[in-house]
């Protein structure tokens, strides 16, 4: 078996709020293998956000070891972590976080502009278009976020996260701002990416969204209290097909009397 993408060894994070010490994460150890699709669940204040920020190299743990791709990244300084985020990690946020008044294409190009090695203009455009094609938005490359629906915006954000071919895709409540049907569509995109071998970790508090993943971690009081594979895993494409037929039926029944 190859090296896990992520190896956490007794990660602890303590915030100091005046004289008060807050133990947000109290010793989490975790291995994430290539090709996994993990949902992290937990109430607010459980430490799941801190765990995500640590996985995303946005925050440094107070103690413990974090091996990303076999390299210890727990003690790296700010700009080295920035390069790591750029090259090895992709982020998808709840609020999409696209740059306003900026086309889908330019949004997707953004990570390449911050790449440690310069990427030529044509190369940038080619890769950004390829990423947009993956999420099915190749034709809308010149649209502004305001001209796209929530689901489409989130797909642009996913394309942006993919464009530097990260080792790990991190999604923080990616469906939190979306209606249920669009949520299923977005989960479908994640499932397709996962089938192509991309490792995904997402935070969610919705159990039905978590059931599209392969493994669920439940975090409480800074510790992982449950870690189990998903039973009765849902497949987004099947759910969508069900939704469509339900919609079609609804249409038939509502339009029938008028006819």
Partner 1 sequence: MRLLATTIIALRALRRNKLRSALTALGIIIGVAGVIATVAIGNGAKVQVESQIASLGRNVVTIFPGSFSSGGARGGFGSASTLTIDDMEAIRRDVADIVAISPEVSDRNQVLANGLNWSTQVRGVSPEYLSVRAWDTDTGTMFSDQDLRSAAKVCVIGATIVKQLFPNSDPLGQTIRIRNIPFIIRGVLESKGFNFFGQDQDDTIMVPYTTHMRRLNRRTTVSTILIESASPAVMPRIQQDTTDLLTQRRRGREPDFTVRNQLELAQTATATARIMTLLLGSVAGVSLFVGGIGIMNIMLVSVTERTREIGIRLAIGAHDRDIRVQFLIEAMVLSVLGGIAGVLLGTGLSQALSSVTGWAVLVSTNAVLISVGISAFVGIVFGFYPAHKAAKLDPIEALRFE
Nearest to 66 by CA among 12, 26, 8: 8
Quickly tell me which residue has 């765990």 as its tokens: 51
Q: How many helices (H) and strands (E) does the chain have?
A: 8, 10
Start-to-end C-alpha separation, the chain: 62
Shortest separation between residue 60's beta carbon and partner 1, angstroms: 11
| Cβ–Cβ < 8 Å for 76, 254 | no
User: Please, which residue, 102 or 177, has the CB nearer to partner 1?
Assistant: 102
Subset of 217-256 contacting partner 1 (CB under 8 A): none
Subset of 157-176 contacting partner 1 (CB under 8 A): 160, 164
Q: Residue 80: left if φ>0, alpha if ψ -120 to 50, beta else—which one?
A: alpha
Beta-ladder partners of 12 = 26, 63
Work out whether 66 is an interface residue with partner 1 (CB under 8 A). Answer: no
Work out whether 82 is an interface residue with partner 1 (CB under 8 A). Answer: yes
Work out whether 34 is an interface residue with partner 1 (CB under 8 A). Answer: no
Exactly one of 34, 67, 76, 110 binds partner 1 (CB under 8 A); that residue is: 110
Work out whether 106 is an interface residue with partner 1 (CB under 8 A). Answer: yes
Work out whether 99 is an interface residue with partner 1 (CB under 8 A). Answer: yes
Work out whether 58 is an interface residue with partner 1 (CB under 8 A). Answer: yes
Strands 71-72 and 63-68: antiparallel
- Which residues would be at the binding site for partner 1 (CB under 8 A)? 53, 56, 58-59, 78-79, 82-83, 85-87, 91, 93, 97, 99-102, 106, 110-111, 113-115, 118, 160, 164
């Amino acid at each position: 078996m190859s090296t896990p993408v992520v190896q956490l060894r007794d990660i602890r994070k303590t915030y100091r709020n005046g004289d008060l010490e807050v133990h947000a994460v109290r010793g989490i150890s975790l291995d994430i293998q290539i090709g996994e699709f993990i949902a992290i669940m937990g109430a607010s204040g459980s430490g799941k956000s801190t765990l995500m920020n640590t996985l995303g190299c946005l925050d440094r743990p107070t103690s413990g070891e974090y091996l990303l791709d076999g390299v210890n990244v727990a003690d790296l300084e700010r700009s080295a972590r920035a390069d790591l985020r750029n090259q090895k990690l992709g982020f998808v946020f709840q609020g999409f976080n696209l740059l306003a008044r900026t086309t889908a294409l330019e949004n997707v190009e953004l990570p390449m502009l911050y790449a440690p090695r310069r990427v030529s203009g044509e190369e940038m455009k080619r890769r950004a278009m390829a990423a947009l094609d993956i999420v099915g938005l190749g034709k809308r490359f010149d649209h502004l976020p305001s001209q796209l629906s929530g689901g489409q915006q989130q797909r642009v954000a996913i394309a942006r996260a993919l464009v530097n071919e990260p080792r790990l895709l991190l999604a923080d409540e990616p469906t939190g701002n979306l209606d249920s049907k669009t949520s299923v569509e977005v989960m479908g995109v994640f499932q397709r990416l996962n089938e192509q071998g991309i490792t995904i970790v997402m935070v969610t508090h919705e159990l039905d969204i978590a059931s599209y993943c392969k493994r669920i971690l439940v975090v409480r009081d800074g510790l992982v209290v449950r870690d189990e594979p998903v039973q009765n895993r849902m497949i987004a494409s099947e759910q969508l097909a069900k939704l469509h037929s339900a919609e079609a039926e609804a249409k038939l029944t509502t339009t029938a009397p008028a006819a």
